[in-house]
Amino acid sequence: MSTKKKIAVLPGDGIGVEVTASAARVLTAACDAAGIELQLDEYSFGTDCYHANGTAFPDVTREGCLAADAVLLGAVGSANPVNHDELGLLDLRKALGLYANIRPITPFAELSGATPFRPEILDGVDFVIVRELAEGLYFGDHAGDDERATDECFYTRGAIERIARAAGAMARERGVKVTSVDKVNVLSTSKLWRATFTDVFASEFPDVELEHMLVDAMAMISIQRPASLGVVATSNMFGDILSDECSVLAGGLGMLPSGSFGAPGPSFYEPVHGSAPDIAGQGVANPIGAILSAAMLAEHSLGSIEVAQAIVKGVRGALASGLRTRDIAGGGGHVVGTEAFTQAVIEQLSAARA
């Protein structure tokens, strides 16, 4: 029986093109070693696509994504920007039925010198941010003129219930608590959020500890006592902001992977960072977030923990050898470019098989 898997590759814009190429190479090498055959099909998507075609998400890209086993994206946005809605991300999430964005925060010990935190703060840090992806502020109505602007934030009980279940299931599997983050003292949507989480956990996850926390408190706790966190569940906008803040724990935005999940279509994987058009084409981008996103893809969409673990070990080995891209070189090490770091990860994979 064939193990061939179809991956829709969306390089996007800026450094997305470079880091996605790195992730695809590492994923292919790791899958080849495990006997998993891949078919990687590349599609146009993002801001540059919008300027060339009048749409950031062409029909051929939509069809390719829906027909794939998984989607791998680099980043979107360019030096010639368009409105956020025209980047294609919201349409892509809708098309794939995605509602849960998973962002693991797991610092590498080898990079402790690249963060502003004392080692004891980072000791034992291993938590996951579960961001609701289908409703909230980004999907409401937006209107405005030179004098007044309005952005609608909405949530439905059904959307909150499914993200609560996703967080509860993950916490149960990991044996940790869930911290539900809101702004209940101000927002009506947060009142519904908190009440719904309380109901879902009381009836479906009585064995999982649930705590509620205001987003401003979480902004402090996540960098003051990050090892106390297990699964952090929050809304679309809060999750976007908090995960960027927490990236500093791992050394910066270039380090974080993410996966977006729904049902029943393919899942979607991308690094947390943006397209960084100011350094695009220079060969200096950090590919680790994209490579670790490929590891998430291997585990969740290809069903291979073996491949996922091999990729993570490859990254760790490259870091342990002292190699650093310039954004994470604050703690020392030999600074290399995107290509050299990617090749080092692939060599680590080969060495592990020898």
Q: Decide: helix, strand or coil at residue 144.
A: strand
Q: Which residues are catalytic?
A: 138, 183, 216, 240, 244
Q: Decide: helix, strand or coil at residue 126.
A: coil
Residue 341 CB partners (closer than 8 Å, separation 6+): 22, 286, 287, 288, 318, 323, 325
d(CA 268, CA 315): 21
d(CA 270, CA 260): 8
Scanning 225-337, the segments in alpha helix (DSSP H) are 236-250, 288-300, 305-320
The two three-digit tokens of residue 223, written as one number: 């960098």
Residue 264 burial (CB count, 10 A): 6
Packing angle of the helix pair 188-204, 157-174 (nearest 10 deg): 50
| Phi, psi values for residue 187, rounded to 5° | -100, 135
